[in-house]
Amino acid sequence: MHVGVLKETAPRERRVALGPDAVARLIKAGDTVTVQRGAGAAAWFSDEAYAAAGATLGDARDAAAADVVCKVQRPADNELDGFRNGAVVVALAGRDASASPETLASRGIMLLALERVPRSTRAQAMDVLSSQATVAGYKAVLIGASSLARFLPMLTTAAGSLTPAKALILGAGVAGLQAIATARRLGAVVTGFDVRAAAAEAVLSLGAKFLAPGAIAQDAATTGGYARELEDEQQQRVLAAISGAIAQSDLVISTAAIPGKPAPRLITSTMVAQMKPGSVIVDVAAETGGNCELTQPGETVEHHGVTIIGPLNLPSTMPMHASQMFSRNVQTLVDLLRKDGKLTLDMSDDIIAAMCLGGPAR
């Protein structure tokens, strides 16, 4: 099977879909791999490292001519000229993918959308959303800590004692739990919150407090474990619980998301006005509209002395390890597509069937 790795062209994207280690594993399994020159440069993976792993280096058309073409972000429609009829593209579909399947189908290209990997034990090693959320949760705390006007840990010095900062983490999925763990390591007093009942145990297991157990909903999780939209009455209980805690918090990391929908609004402008001057909010959900109503995606704004940061594509800001995890997810998926050394799309496989967008590969 021929696998291609393309360089990313999207703004702010520094990751690469397959790193040299993953390429070496694919070649060991019998695949041939063509990597576009410079594909890994932004993630600090050199062309020489790919060559040492056994890959062939080429231009974009060389890599796009493969049976399976791997990218982080879905190729734009004007980048499809080098793809062959019957190719499979493995990439994130992106939020603008609604019009793309028709274009792909007209060219006989199948897109396996990485966002659509099922939440199952068998698919866990292919789950890029979880691996990249780990990076986002970690980096969000570092951004918040560097923007605060105070230390996170308690310090006792000759100049006096400094009390630890209070951090509130909204959302206890993968990103939220990583944020809790990171804030704890840095010495903050951490409180976590999630509407899903099962999340309370995970928050407590990391040594954090869990905010307002009475506000959680027993049926707030979907079959895949993601949070669902709440009814108005439940949403009001959640906002009331958050409002009481946010005024006492120095750092707020908001990570709440609902797959396929805008991020839930958990932080109102009134809540922000109640926070102490010098406090910081890092809204990890900025790309899907933000959990804070004052968030400006990609911007840092200030309201009543509170800094509100809306970062975009946080995993790409740590491209080396983000790419390392991403590429292991992709490599595991590519292994699933190989049968007797050839590309095989088994539509009876629940993982492949869930991920397919566009026209069937031929």
Q: Which one-letter DSSP state was computed for residue 351?
A: H
167 and 85 within one domain = no
> Is 124 annotated as catalytic?
yes
119 and 245 within one domain = no
246 and 164 within one domain = yes
> Is 120 annotated as catalytic?
no
- Number of domains composing the chain: 2
User: How far is 91 from 72, CA to CA, in rounded Å?
Assistant: 5
Catalytic choice (130, 234, 235, 243): 130
152 and 288 within one domain = yes
155 and 289 within one domain = yes
Catalytic choice (124, 147, 235, 243): 124
CA 206 to chain centre: 21
User: How far is 47 from 195, CA to CA, in rounded Å?
Assistant: 46
Catalytic choice (31, 127, 250, 283): 127
214 and 113 within one domain = no
201-249 pLDDT, tens digit per residue, is: 999 999 999 987 665 555 444 445 455 455 566 777 788 889 889 999 9
User: How far is 97 from 133, CA to CA, in rounded Å?
Assistant: 21
303 and 186 within one domain = yes
Tokens representing 268 are: 């109102």
CATH code where residue 139 lies: 3.40.50.720
204 and 58 within one domain = no
Percentage of residues in the chain with pLDDT exceeding 70? 91
Q: Helix (H, G, I), strand (E, B), or coil: what is residue 162?
A: strand
8-47 pLDDT, tens digit per residue, is: 999 999 999 999 999 999 999 999 999 999 999 999 999 9
119 and 171 within one domain = no
303 and 325 within one domain = no
299 and 155 within one domain = yes
178 and 43 within one domain = no
Q: Which domain holds residue 279?
A: 134-316
pLDDT band of residue 362 (cuts 50, 70, 90) is very low
Q: How many helices (H) and strands (E) does the chain have?
A: 11, 18
Q: Which residues contact 330 (CB under 8 A, 6 or more apart)?
A: 17, 18, 22, 70, 90, 114, 126, 128
Residue 11: how many other CB atoms lie within 10 Å: 10
270-306 pLDDT, tens digit per residue, is: 999 999 999 999 999 999 999 999 999 999 999 999 9
Q: Helix (H, G, I), strand (E, B), or coil: what is residue 119?
A: coil
Catalytic choice (107, 119, 228, 265): 119
142-158 pLDDT, tens digit per residue, is: 999 999 999 999 999 89
> Is 130 annotated as catalytic?
yes
